[in-house]
């Protein structure tokens, strides 16, 4: 068996098998379960890295399920009938983000979750969510995308409602479930329209056939709506603060990665599926939604008194930056490819930076909640005396998120400011305004929670949680200090895959 050829599907199948087997190991003994999780996470991470190395060095990886050999994409007659995984540089980049987030999250969860609160369920759902995210990133089939979309939805709703003993947990889970289900139905209806029109579900085949008819436009609108609902963009963001506020911290960072995977699916639809019939009006729509998201979420963050919800609105506003970057790229790339590409690079680079910085913040909030017993800024104060490391991590994460140099948020936000300035100076002014608002928000949160006299003795934070936060903090520093390395080697190929790589993506599946 040729491991490199099979790596794309194994990276999805191994966590799936791992998630199904996890509760059985837990019935025998919890240490067996932990060992199994380490094994599954290690193998999945290694396989994803292997896929990414192949994609970045060799080219697009294609895998045909159930065929006579992995590259046998076309049935006789030149029609792609089977489920085909197509991994290009952008998919691989998102896959790497999920690996980072999942490994950090699981090591954080080891001491963060209590055994008697259903730790096994949280770990099972987390692994299932990871499998779904990798599937969404790697698939080259529209219906398969919907299936993995639903896998992530179900796992995410379970994680949001994890705290069944708190009344707000199930409420947040219900809200999230309604939004995800409606979004999923939008996507399904769009797929049905496209299938009815072209009789195919393969992304590459559809991309070659698509004509830009009225039905196609309706399908695009439905796909935009469904995927933006899942990504938590304003005005469809109302589930996100509840979900981020109620889910356990290690699950929140998986949920954040999940919103980015939905954005990935959106970009795949906009650039690859509809790239041939691109319309600048769609680009402007994405730009305006992005600007709205970053402004509204930052304004909402100002008034929050709950530390978890405050950071959650910060997370929603970051989705706006990604939409703004890629939307600017979509609007101008046909006319001025050079700066359109910078905009797309900024948006994609911001995905990684957001996963690292907002992940660090959410983990720090989880540590605060565990140490102090609540998250309300009115009752917190003086935690800096006891939680030295957590204080540092929170400060680092909030400065990075507000875009202060030399941290990582600055690097990608600068690319977004510059490119959106060329489209319209108002856009970059609004984006900078949102960053300043976020800085104000985090100054308030930092001062309220960590500075001042010690109110009561806080419990020490377990070392494994500190190590997990430390890894992300190192990421914040490294990505901020050496952004050009990351952009050149990881982000630029991913951005190229969206625009210049469209023909390669189609050829990888359809030949010629």
Partner 1 sequence: MSVVVRTIARILVPVILAFGGYVILHGHLTPGGGFQGGAVAASAVALLLVAFGAPSLKKLKSPLSVLEDLGGIAFVVLAFLGIGTTFFFNLLAGSGGLFGAASPIGPNAGFLNTGGTVPLMNWAVGFKVLGGLGAVMVLFGLFGGDDDR
Residues in contact with partner 1 by CB under 8 A are 1, 6, 9-10, 13, 16-17, 19-21, 23-24, 27, 63-70, 72, 83
69 or 214: CB nearest partner 1: 69
Cα 349 to Cα 342: distance, rounded to the nearest angstrom: 10
Tell me if 84 sits within 8 A of 141, measured CB to CB.
Answer: yes
3-state DSSP helix/strand/coil % of the chain, to nearest 5: 80, 5, 20
Closest to 350 (Cα-Cα) out of 323, 330, 329: 323
163 or 413: CB nearest partner 1: 163
Smallest gap from Cβ 174 to partner 1, in A, equals: 15
Smallest gap from Cβ 66 to partner 1, in A, equals: 4
Tell me if 195 sits within 8 A of 210, measured CB to CB.
Answer: no
63 or 244: CB nearest partner 1: 63
Smallest gap from Cβ 123 to partner 1, in A, equals: 14
Task: Give the chain's largest Cα–Cα span.
Answer: 75
Number of Cβ within 10 Å of residue 374's Cβ equals: 12
Smallest gap from Cβ 9 to partner 1, in A, equals: 4
DSSP E strands in 347-489: the ranges are: none
Cα 160 to Cα 169: distance, rounded to the nearest angstrom: 6
Q: CA–CA distance from 88 to each of 52, 63, 268, 489 (Å)? A: 9, 12, 11, 14
11 or 324: CB nearest partner 1: 11
Smallest gap from Cβ 23 to partner 1, in A, equals: 5
Smallest gap from Cβ 179 to partner 1, in A, equals: 22
159 or 307: CB nearest partner 1: 159
Degrees (nearest 5) of the Cα angle 325, 58, 148?
55
Smallest gap from Cβ 496 to partner 1, in A, equals: 29
Cα 36 to Cα 25: distance, rounded to the nearest angstrom: 8
124 or 408: CB nearest partner 1: 124
Closest to 418 (Cα-Cα) out of 409, 429, 408, 407: 429
76 or 453: CB nearest partner 1: 76
10 or 282: CB nearest partner 1: 10
- For 132, half-sphere exposure in the C-beta direction (CA atoms, 13 angstrom radius) is 25
Q: What are phi and psi of 79, to 5 degrees?
A: -120, 125
67 or 377: CB nearest partner 1: 67
Smallest gap from Cβ 355 to partner 1, in A, equals: 28
9 or 223: CB nearest partner 1: 9
Which residue shows structure tokens 């609902």? 229
Which residue shows structure tokens 């199930």? 170
Smallest gap from Cβ 85 to partner 1, in A, equals: 9
DSSP E strands in 25-129: the ranges are: 61-64, 84-87
User: Considering just the CA atoms, what is the radius of gyration of the chain in Å?
Assistant: 22
23 or 405: CB nearest partner 1: 23
Tell me if 232 sits within 8 A of 185, measured CB to CB.
Answer: no
For the record, the structure tokens of 323 come out as 């939409």
Cα 158 to Cα 416: distance, rounded to the nearest angstrom: 35
DSSP symbol at 270: I
Cα 435 to Cα 306: distance, rounded to the nearest angstrom: 20
Smallest gap from Cβ 69 to partner 1, in A, equals: 7
Enumerate the β-bridge partners of residue 434.
Answer: none
Smallest gap from Cβ 202 to partner 1, in A, equals: 16
């Amino acid at each position: 068996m040729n491991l490199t050829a099979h790596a794309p599907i194994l990276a999805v199948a191994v966590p799936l098998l791992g998630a199904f087997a996890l509760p059985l190991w837990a019935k025998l003994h919890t240490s067996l379960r932990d060992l199994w999780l380490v094994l599954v996470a290690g193998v999945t991470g290694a396989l994803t890295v292997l896929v990414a190395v192949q994609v970045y060095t060799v080219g697009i990886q294609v895998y045909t399920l159930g065929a006579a050999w992995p590259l046998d994409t076309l049935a006789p007659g030149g029609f792609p009938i089977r489920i085909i995984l197509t991994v290009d540089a952008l998919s691989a980049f998102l896959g790497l983000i999920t690996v980072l987030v999942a490994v950090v999250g699981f090591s954080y969860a080891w001491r963060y979750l209590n055994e008697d609160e259903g730790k096994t369920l949280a770990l099972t759902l987390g692994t299932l969510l990871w499998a779904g995210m990798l599937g969404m990133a790697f698939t080259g089939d529209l219906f398969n995308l919907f299936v993995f979309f639903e896998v992530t939805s179900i796992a995410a709703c379970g994680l949001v409602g994890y705290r069944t003993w708190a009344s707000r947990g199930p409420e947040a889970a219900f809200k999230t479930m309604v939004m995800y289900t409606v979004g999923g139905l939008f996507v399904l209806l769009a797929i049905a329209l496209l299938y009815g029109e072209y009789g195919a579900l393969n992304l590459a085949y559809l991309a070659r056939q698509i004509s830009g008819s009225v039905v196609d436009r309706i399908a695009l609108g439905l796909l935009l709506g469904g995927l933006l609902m899942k990504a938590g963009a304003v005005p469809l963001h109302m589930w996100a603060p509840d979900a981020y506020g109620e889910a356990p911290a290690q699950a929140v960072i998986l949920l954040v990665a999940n919103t980015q995977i939905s954005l990935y699916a959106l970009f795949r639809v906009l650039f690859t599926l509809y790239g041939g019939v691109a319309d600048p009006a769609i680009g402007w729509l994405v730009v305006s939604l992005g600007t709205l998201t970053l402004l509204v979420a930052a304004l909402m963050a100002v008034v929050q008194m709950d530390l978890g919800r405050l950071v959650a609105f910060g997370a929603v506003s970051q989705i706006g930056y990604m939409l703004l970057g890629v939307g600017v790229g979509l609007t101008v790339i046909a006319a001025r490819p050079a700066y359109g590409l910078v905009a797309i690079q900024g948006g994609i680079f911001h995905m990684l930076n957001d996963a690292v910085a907002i992940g660090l913040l959410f983990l720090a909030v989880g540590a605060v909640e565990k140490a102090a017993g609540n998250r309300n800024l009115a009752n917190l104060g003086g935690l800096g005396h006891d939680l030295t490391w957590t204080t540092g991590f929170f400060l680092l994460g909030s400065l990075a998120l507000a875009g202060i140099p030399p941290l990582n948020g600055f690097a990608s936000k600068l690319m977004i400011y510059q490119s959106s300035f060329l489209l319209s100076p108002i856009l970059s002014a609004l984006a900078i305004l949102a960053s300043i608002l976020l800085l104000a928000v985090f100054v308030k949160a930092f001062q309220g929670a960590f500075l001042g006299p010690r109110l009561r003795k806080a419990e020490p934070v377990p070392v494994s949680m500190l190590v997990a936060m430390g890894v992300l903090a190192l990421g914040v520093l490294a990505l901020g200090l050496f952004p050009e390395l990351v952009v050149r080697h990881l982000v630029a190929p991913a951005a190229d895959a969206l625009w210049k790589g469209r023909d390669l993506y189609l050829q990888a599946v359809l030949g010629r």
